[in-house]
């Protein structure tokens, strides 16, 4: 309902004149939010009831409208539904050495999976095997000393498949690795969880790779 000093929120009350009551919104008038004191937030139409004062001065935050994603998941308006994992690491070893540890079956089993089925050659599918799981890589391209691109699945049902792009550049006497994995559709079931898992997993994998390449340490032996 409406009162002399503006609209009232249930559970609140009109502001007295000395605190903005009776004034139009552009001059500080408005409503007292439920449960707040006399210095509570005032509302304005463009902020959905949170205006008058900015948030840092006690005003309420604007509520963003929601949009329905592809699988019915609600996201704030304007939020991109696809996410990527992007990381960068420096190695003391050469670009050739780093990429060889990712594309040579005899090298990769020394720091990453326990064993591998396949050659990791471009145009082939290889399966990386651990005691608790196994995952396939469809290797798309390999440029010795420069890049590796492959696709791999997420989740038990493997409905989500992302593309991993690894690029290497010379950096002084060492090299710099750039990794990108995605897209992860966070508006689809399992997308957000897979994205979070990828962030943690790649951070751990690149730490293991650097320990092996630069220091000849297998971090799997340390749990």
- Cis, bond preceding 183 (omega within 30 deg of 0): yes
State the pLDDT at residue 53.
Answer: 60
| Spatial contact of 92 and 173, defined as CB atoms under 8 Å apart | yes
- Output the pLDDT for position 69: 52
Residue ranges of the chain whose pLDDT lies below 70: 1-79, 222-223
Q: C-alpha 108: how far from its chain's center?
A: 27
pLDDT score, position 3: 42
pLDDT of residue 72: 53
* Model pTM score: 0.67
Q: 104: closest CA among 126, 87, 88, 86? A: 126
CA of 196: how far to CAs of 30, 41, 182, in Å?
A: 42, 36, 12
pLDDT for residue 220: 87
Q: Note the pLDDT of residue 216.
A: 95
Q: Where are the beta strands (DSSP E) in 69-198?
A: 74-76, 82-91, 115-117, 125-129, 134-143, 147-154, 160-171, 174-185
Q: Which CATH superfamily is domain 80-222 in?
A: START domain (3.30.530.20)
Cβ 12 vs Cβ 37: under 8 Å: no
Residue linked to tokens 């040579």: 104
Cα–Cα distances in angstroms (integers) from residue 43 to residues 20, 82, 127, in the given order: 12, 34, 58
Q: Angle of helix 95-103 relative to helix 191-215, nearest 10 degrees?
A: 120
Query: 26: which 2 tokens?
Result: 């552009």
- pLDDT tens digits, 105-122: 999 999 999 999 999 999
The domain ranges of the chain are 1-63, 80-222
What is the predicted pLDDT for the residue at 128? Answer: 98
């Amino acid at each position: 309902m409406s009162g002399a000093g503006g609209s009232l929120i249930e559970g609140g009350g009109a502001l007295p004149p000395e605190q903005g009551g009776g004034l139009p919104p552009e001059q500080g008038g408005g409503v007292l939010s439920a449960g707040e004191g006399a210095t509570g937030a005032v509302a304005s139409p463009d902020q959905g009831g949170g205006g008058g004062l900015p948030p840092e001065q006690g005003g309420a935050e604007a509520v963003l409208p929601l949009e329905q994603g592809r699988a019915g998941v609600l996201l704030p308006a304007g939020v991109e539904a696809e996410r990527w994992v992007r990381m960068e690491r420096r190695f003391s070893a050469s670009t050739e050495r780093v990429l060889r540890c990712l594309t040579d079956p005899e090298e990769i089993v020394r720091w990453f999976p326990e064993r591998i089925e396949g050659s990791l050659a471009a145009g082939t599918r290889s399966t990386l095997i651990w005691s608790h799981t196994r995952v396939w890589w469809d290797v798309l391209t390999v440029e010795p000393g420069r890049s590796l691109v492959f696709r791999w699945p997420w989740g038990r049902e493997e409905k989500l498949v992302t593309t991993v792009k690894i690029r290497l550049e010379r950096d002084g006497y060492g090299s710099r690795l750039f990794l990108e994995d995605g897209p992860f559709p966070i508006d689809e079931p399992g997308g957000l969880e897979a994205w979070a898992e990828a962030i943690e997993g790649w951070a751990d994998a690149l730490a293991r790779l650097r320990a092996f390449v630069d220091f000849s340490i297998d971090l799997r032996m340390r749990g």
